[in-house]
Amino acid sequence: MTRFFRDFGLYAAWLVAIVATAGSLYFSEVRLFVPCTLCWYQRIMMYPLVIILGVASYRQDRRVVAYALPLAVIGGAFSLFHYLEQKVPGFSAPTLCRVGVPCNQEYINWLGFITIPFLALVAFVLISVLLIGVARSARPAAVSLGRPEAAEARV
């Protein structure tokens, strides 16, 4: 599994970000769903990941985890909050989404639980898991076991 993350983790995270961004644009530009305030916050976290992870994939730069993971975690928090606002009665925040589209509106509701914020949450979680796997695969085994002298001996 470590080999998968080392060889394909960045590409997989980039692919997830591309699909999530394309889906977001499809819902707003093709299906004409107007994004609410929380949707915009999630977009602000997802859209840069396409560029950041694309460049990192091209350069095989695993250090990108330090920059991309916070975006994915914060975006996932927005998505979780948005999903709870849609699905849990009385969970809505009184100060958000006062103007325009209400944040608790469900444009899609596939199988009774899959909404747009749920799709975004899945994408952010996948990106986070992939980036954590990339970070763990980049560490030498001896260092991760707490034996830095063993890593130096192999060099």
Residues 139, 137: Cα–Cα separation, whole Å:
6
Entry pTM: 0.84
DSSP secondary structure string, 55-80? HHHHHT-GGGHHHHHHHHHHHHHHHH
Helix axes 37-59, 2-25, angle to 10 degrees: 140
Residues 13, 15: Cα–Cα separation, whole Å:
5
Q: Spell out the long-range contacts of 146-151 with Cβ–Cβ below 8 A and sequence spacing 24 or more.
A: none
Encoded tokens for 74: 């914060």
| DSSP 8-state symbol, 33 | P
In this structure, which amino acid lies at residue 99?
A: V
Query: For 104-139, what is each residue's pLDDT tens digit?
Result: 888 999 998 999 999 999 999 999 999 999 999 877
- Where does the pLDDT of residue 142 fall: very low under 50, low under 70, confident under 90, or very high at 90 and above? very low
Query: For 6-22, what is each residue's pLDDT tens digit?
Result: 889 999 999 999 999 99
In this structure, which amino acid lies at residue 92?
A: S
Topology of domain 2-154, CATH: Bromodomain-like (1.20.1550)
Encoded tokens for 114: 């899959």
Query: For 34-62, what is each residue's pLDDT tens digit?
Result: 999 999 999 999 999 999 999 999 999 99
